[in-house]
Amino acid sequence: CFSKYIPETLLKYHFDPRENPRETHLLCALKWGETGRIWSHWVRNYSFHAERYFLRNIFEGRRSSHVNCYITWYLSWSPCAHCCDEIQQFLERHPYVSIDIRVARLFRFKNEEVRECLIDLCYLDNISVLASFSPDYIYCWNKFIRGNAVDDTWTVGFEPHISMYRSLLRRAFKVSRS
């Protein structure tokens, strides 16, 4: 269910905002403390949602000390309502953890519950949800693809879709504040 590297074809397909894949993939950079080593993980959802699997099986299996932990998630889909709730509960139990969530596309954003849960998650102090709508594709390629293969052409044509998702999110935040 998890590994350090994602195959090139899966990264290209699942993180392409023009596609509509059925499963969520999570790429993670996890760092303990200010000078700690960065741990890389690739998780895909099988019987668990990728976010839930990471929080329960990967994070909980690591050190349980109260050293600050910085997590960056690159998700192929934004979290669903249940995962937003689970992330919020996790952060309440682990106040020394900060999560920066970057997504390739919005999951069922027309659904009011999903939209509200995602917006609620964005207002937490120790989370930066949707800090970027285009996961840092070059970083992800360099960090999560085995070897040093370079392919900077696969993101051509992403910008209109990324702009559309940013616009949807901005409008949702404006509505939630009024």
Instruction: Assign 129 to helix, strand or coil.
Output: strand
- Residues near 28 by beta carbon (within 8 Å), at least 6 away in sequence: 39, 40, 41, 42, 43, 54, 58, 71, 72, 73, 74
> Does the active-site annotation cover 116?
no
Tokens of 140: 């992800």
Choose the catalytic residue: 8, 19, 23, 51: 51
Measured between alpha carbons, how far is 145 from 9 in angstroms, rounded to an integer?
10
First to last CA, the chain: 41
Q: Which H/E stretch holds residue 18? A: none
- Residues near 1 by beta carbon (within 8 Å), at least 6 away in sequence: 43, 44, 46, 48, 53, 57
Active site residue ranges: 51
